[in-house]
Chain A
Amino acid sequence: MARWILRNCERFGCLPSELLEEDAELLRLLAIEQLAAPEEVAG
Chain B
Amino acid sequence: MGYTPKRRVFRLRFEDEEYDGLVVKVRSTSVGRLLEFMGFLAMDTDDLTPADVEKITGLFEAFAEVLAEWNVETEDGEPVPATLDGVRTQDADFVMAIMRVWFQAVTQPPAPLPATSSAGGPSAVPPLPMEPLSPSRAS
Contact = CB atoms under 8 A, between A and B. Distances in A.
Contact of B35 (A1, A23, A32): A1
B13 to A, nearest CB: 16
A20 B35 contact: yes
A23 B28 contact: yes
Interface residues of A, number: 14
A42 interface: no
Nearest to B66: A24
B8 interface: yes
Most buried by B among A23, A26, A31: A23
Contacts of B8: 23, 25
B35 A26 contact: no
Nearest to A36: B109
Interface string B9-48: 0000000000000000000111111110000000000000
Interface string A3-22: 00000000000000001111
Contact of A26 (B5, B7, B31, B33): B31
Contact of A21 (B7, B28, B31, B106): B31
B126 to A, nearest CB: 15
Interface of A: 1, 19-28, 31-32, 35
